[in-house]
Structure 1
Amino acid sequence: MNTTTPYRVTSIDVLRGLVMVIMALDHTRDFFHRTAMTADPLDPSTTSTMLYFTRWITHFCAPTFVFLSGVSAFLAAQRRTRQDAAYFLIKRGLWLVLVEVTLITLGLTFNPSFNFIILQVIWAIGWSMVILGLLSWWSRKAVLIAGILLFFGHNVVDYMKLPAEGPAAVMWQILLTTRGAVVPLDATHLLGIFYAILPWTGIMLLGYSIGSWFIRDFPAAKRKQRLVMAGVTLVALFVLLRWINLYGNPVPRKIYPDLWSNMLSFFDTSKYPPSLQYAAMTLGPALLALAAFENLQQKWSGVLTVYGRVPFFYYVLHFYLLHALLVIVFFATGHSAAQIAQVPFWFRPAEFGYALPLVYLIWIGVVAALYRPCRWFDRYRAAHRQWWLSYL
């Protein structure tokens, strides 16, 4: 058994808390912004600067969270044998898939009949944990090699002719290529596949592979130096690939006649599925932030740490709180019961919503309301040792 003692690194909790807070902004926009269901906020020809930024800044959340999940998986594995750690990852991954299909889908849709099942980031994290468990059972070298191949090489499929229909097409979408596929399960139930698994798996595997930088005995100065080097390298890779415009994104960058639209287009990389350009654009600054947050001791960082220590609890709770607020606003604005059933989100008509300033106020209120519950759960988990807490 590996006896290297894991410990909590402040920078991980602060950065994870920061991305959880920013993530809630995007979901608040989904529920409450007037054009969230009818327009692309990243389209230079129709968006505004503030709307573009509101959507674009949230691109950093999912890859950073998935990457840090890999780091955390490595640190947690130090308390177990290799086989026990791998087995736990497999079990927790399958449990997360179940949670996505049930608890998260219900929070998103408020549809008790589950007519629209949504597969998003928790689904991708769950299957990535299963794959990580299997590879780490074999060896850490296998994790690193697979991570490098998936992270840098998955966009090769952009140049392949893949099946356009049938089970093979669905499988390719699930694993690598989906940009938001809706698959009928029967006459009344749909499956929304929004996160391709393997590109996210590559991000998690690389997070696991640098987990040794965060053990207690690893020099902080050396860790910071490596994070800065890796972060700068990824940012440079993003700029290079985006400029060349040949590899690393499912579709080439669009060229516009004016400078401002071209700049917006330059940073509009593919999240669905997450391209190499997208991952480099987001994880480069994330690694630099990890280096900058090393030994950070500020009042605001302590607040972010509360959210960062209980990310799954926060994630589930914020969906239910946002949707409960939506129900209140739905009826308060004169909508009737006959208008409840909307696909995919109940109580969310397409022609509904408010301007961005009000969306920001709702977001701040929701994040503030979740602070005390998150602090309570963090303290509860620290004081108790029930087996099920390790799954949260």
Structure 2
Amino acid sequence: MPEIPPPPARSRLLSIDALRGLVILFMLLDHVRETFYLHHQVPDPMVAAETPPELFFSRLLAHLCAPVFVFLTGLSAFLYASKQPDGRAAASSFLWKRGLFLVLLEVTVVNFAWTFQFPPAKVFLQVIWVIGLSMLALAALVWLPRKVLIVLGIVLVAGHNLLDGLHFPAGHVLHVPWAVLHDRGWIELSGALKLRTSYPLLPWIGVIALGYAAGPWFLAGADAAQRQRRLLAWGAGLLAGFVLLRLLDVYGDKPWTAGDTALASWMGFFNITKYPPSLLFIALTLGVGLLLLRAFERRQGAAWLAPLAVFGAAPMFFYVLHLYVLKFLYLGAEAAWGRNQGTLFGFDAMWMVWAAAAVLAFALYPAVRAFAALKERRRDIAWLKYL
């Protein structure tokens, strides 16, 4: 069989796809953990004193995924608009249609991959849901002036922790909208079905807005050196802000505590809240993400970037594929070896999670490569761009 060439990077910066591909692999690691290491559950935020370091830092790596996905979604929306004759109108229309598609995908195909229940008793509204809702919000926000969009993004990211103490009990008229926007919880639709708002929306609207506002840095005519300076300045600035706020320990996340050892103290320092993403969570993850984006751009000729870019060129295809592969692998393992971890089948050590994730990445690569090449080759097939 002839080798399928990787999709060319003429229509997008290789660094963007490579960064998306890297966090996809981190996501794969985390989902292998959730499939085969669930007998060692971790809350949010983690309990640093009770979490083994190898589990803690594996989970910390996965924290990069959602912020980078959402930021790059906004960035990609701007680049899409820049290539259309009607610009914002085209972007708004695409964001609206793809946002609705992702919301529908989450509550059907994706939720079934996690639960294998039909009809479902529980629907978990997770990252695909929040990306879809963020796109719906951005479909309206693209009409704002860029400066207003930047201010709005900063206010939502930096200010939403002021609302942490606001809660509405079940039955209150504001319980459902607030559970969707900011307060992670359950929404009971009936006695047989309830929804879990795993990813509250409000701060993610800020992240996608900032991604869209960063779009002009990546236009074809933009100065590459200036773009890299901006990525360095903003990335380093976000990390410096994270360190300063964490040391002051007065705003942006729950207080941290020093441990009995230096390692335990470092774990406490980096133990941040994801649901909803705190200011410190976003500052740390987007800071690292922007610096990685700069590093990848400066090494676009490196051979090791190409496989990452392949994963990043077909993110939704990989997302759905790997969830079903993991579910069938789990069912097969449970049938073969039984429930060796109480009520679950699971691995005995975290290194086995890493090993399984590496094997799966290599195993799934050919299918992702073929689909990415198909997307690039058949731009006339409209539905392919949704994956």
Q: CA deviation at 1:137?
A: 2.9
Tell me which amino acid in the other structure corresponds to 1:131: A
Q: What pairs with 1:216-365 in structure 2 (closer than 5 Å)?
A: 216-249=220-253, 251-294=254-297, 295-334=299-338, 350-354=343-347, 355-365=349-359
In the alignment, does 2:152 pair up with 1:146? yes
In the alignment, does 2:117 pair up with 1:111? yes
1:95-121 alpha-carbon deviations (Å, 9 max, x no partner): 111111111101111112222111011
Count of residues in Structure 1 that have an aligned counterpart in Structure 2: 371
Q: CA deviation at 1:138?
A: 4.0
Distance 1:113 1:377 in 2: 30
RMSD after superposition:
1.9
Q: CA deviation at 1:84?
A: 2.3
Q: What pairs with 1:90-239 in structure 2 (closer than 5 Å)?
A: 90-158=96-164, 160-166=165-171, 167-178=173-184, 181-239=185-243
Q: CA deviation at 1:39?
A: 7.0
1:341-361 alpha-carbon deviations (Å, 9 max, x no partner): xxxxxxx97543112122222
Runs of 5+ unmatched residues, structure 1: 1-5, 336-347
Tell me which amino acid in the other structure corresponds to 2:291: L
Structure 2 equivalent of residue 52 of structure 1: 56
Structure 1 equivalent of residue 368 of structure 2: 374
Tell me which amino acid in the other structure corresponds to 1:214: F
Structure 2 equivalent of residue 339 of structure 1: none
In the alignment, does 2:383 pair up with 1:388? yes
Distance 1:358 1:111 in 2: 28
Distance 2:343 2:144 in 1: 49
Q: CA deviation at 1:260?
A: 3.0
Distance 1:11 1:111, change over 3 A: same
- Check conservation: 1:116, 1:192, Cα contact below 8 A: yes
Q: What is the DSSP-based 3-state SS (H/G/I as helix, E as strand, rest coil) of the residue aligned with 1:292? A: helix
Q: What is the DSSP-based 3-state SS (H/G/I as helix, E as strand, rest coil) of the residue aligned with 1:45? A: helix
Which segment drifts farther, 382-391 or 350-359? 350-359
Percent identical among aligned pairs is 41
Tell me which amino acid in the other structure corresponds to 1:365: V
Q: CA deviation at 1:41?
A: 9.2
- Check conservation: 1:38, 1:350, Cα contact below 8 A: no
1:65-98 alpha-carbon deviations (Å, 9 max, x no partner): 1111111111011122122221221111111111
Q: What is the DSSP-based 3-state SS (H/G/I as helix, E as strand, rest coil) of the residue aligned with 1:299? A: coil
Q: What is the DSSP-based 3-state SS (H/G/I as helix, E as strand, rest coil) of the residue aligned with 1:190? A: strand
Tell me which amino acid in the other structure corresponds to 1:276: L
Distance 1:12 1:189 in 2: 39
- Check conservation: 1:16, 1:65, Cα contact below 8 A: yes
1:221-276 alpha-carbon deviations (Å, 9 max, x no partner): 11000000000100000001111111112x22234454432221110110011011
Q: CA deviation at 1:142?
A: 3.8
Structure 2 equivalent of residue 71 of structure 1: 75
Distance 1:9 1:114 in 2: 40
Which segment drifts farther, 277-286 or 87-96? 87-96
Distance 2:121 2:230 in 1: 47
Distance 1:164 1:59 in 2: 29
Distance 2:80 2:294 in 1: 21
Q: What is the DSSP-based 3-state SS (H/G/I as helix, E as strand, rest coil) of the residue aligned with 2:123? A: strand
Tell me which amino acid in the other structure corresponds to 2:170: E
- Check conservation: 1:37, 1:350, Cα contact below 8 A: no
Structure 1 equivalent of residue 4 of structure 2: none
Q: What is the DSSP-based 3-state SS (H/G/I as helix, E as strand, rest coil) of the residue aligned with 1:370? A: helix
1:183-202 alpha-carbon deviations (Å, 9 max, x no partner): 33222222111001111111
Distance 1:41 1:212 in 2: 35
Structure 2 equivalent of residue 87 of structure 1: 93
- Check conservation: 1:151, 1:202, Cα contact below 8 A: yes
Distance 1:148 1:103 in 2: 33
- Check conservation: 2:100, 2:136, Cα contact below 8 A: yes
Q: What is the DSSP-based 3-state SS (H/G/I as helix, E as strand, rest coil) of the residue aligned with 1:184? A: strand
Q: What is the DSSP-based 3-state SS (H/G/I as helix, E as strand, rest coil) of the residue aligned with 1:185? A: strand
- Check conservation: 2:122, 2:196, Cα contact below 8 A: yes
Q: CA deviation at 1:56?
A: 1.0
- Check conservation: 1:30, 1:36, Cα contact below 8 A: no
Tell me which amino acid in the other structure corresponds to 2:191: A
Give the TM-score of the pair, scaled to structure 2.
Answer: 0.91
Q: CA deviation at 1:156?
A: 1.4
Tell me which amino acid in the other structure corresponds to 2:150: L
Tell me which amino acid in the other structure corresponds to 1:164: P
Tell me which amino acid in the other structure corresponds to 1:374: V
Structure 2 equivalent of residue 345 of structure 1: none
In the alignment, does 2:26 pair up with 1:22? yes
- Check conservation: 1:132, 1:143, Cα contact below 8 A: no
Give the TM-score of the pair, scaled to structure 1.
Answer: 0.90
Tell me which amino acid in the other structure corresponds to 2:36: F
- Check conservation: 2:44, 2:275, Cα contact below 8 A: no
Which segment drifts farther, 265-274 or 356-365? 356-365
Structure 2 equivalent of residue 340 of structure 1: none
